[in-house]
Structures are given as C-alpha cells and as structure tokens.
Amino acid sequence: MKTKTATKRTTRVSTHELKKREFVGIASHQLRTPLTTINWYVEMLRSGDAGKLSDAQKSYLKEVEMGVQYMVRLINELLEATENDTGCVTVCVPQRKSRPAKMHRPGKKR
C-alpha cells in the first residue's frame, strides 16, 4: 500500500516538475523575443539607420541597452535556478536571426 502511494506522489512530483520546466522555458522565450527586437532597433539607431543621433539620444539608447541586458540576465538566472532545482538542463534553440526592416526617415522616398 505504501509503495502505491509513494509511486503516485513521485508521479505527481514528476508531472509538476515537467510542467514547471515547460513553463519556465516558454516564459523565457516569450520574454526574450521582445528584448531581442528592442536590441535590434537600438543597434539600428546607433548605426545611423534613422539618421544622426544627438548626444542625449545616444545616452537614452545606452539606458535602453542596459535595461535589456539586465532583463536578459534575470531570465538567464531564472533558467539557471530552475536547472539547479530540478537537476535538468534546459536547452534553448535560437530561432533564425533576421534584422527588422530598415527604418526610413520621414519624407524620404524608399
């Protein structure tokens, strides 16, 4: 009788751990996607794709970039904590990288 109860409990814990890992994997992907987009646009602005930036604008972009890096570190720490807690390693397969459409200045013909 105890063996049956222990087996049910183990199955319940295993199912819970699987759901937890799946949630963390999906959440990390969903959080990283907009951060990647923000990072691409920061790079485009810095490279001059939208025109010359003032010193103030460059400073604002630096703040955005630091915020993105901070969020990526938090996501990585969340993944590491989950891996350490479960003893499993989460494998993230990056999607194909592509840059967003090139930005054009208002009034300029494409």
Per residue in 36-84, pLDDT (tens digit) is 999 999 999 999 999 999 999 999 999 999 999 999 999 888 888 877 6
Percent of the chain topping pLDDT 70:
64
The angle, 0 to 180 degrees and rounded to 10, between the axes of the packed helices 55-86 and 2-46 is: 160
**Residue 18 has which token pair?**
């699987």
Domain 2-86, CATH number (from 1.10.3470, 1.10.287, 3.40.50, 3.30.110):
1.10.287
Other Cβ atoms within 10 Å of 29 Cβ, number: 14
pTM for this entry? 0.59
Query: Which of 35-39, 85-89, 102-106 bottoms out in mean pLDDT, i.e. has the lowest?
Result: 102-106
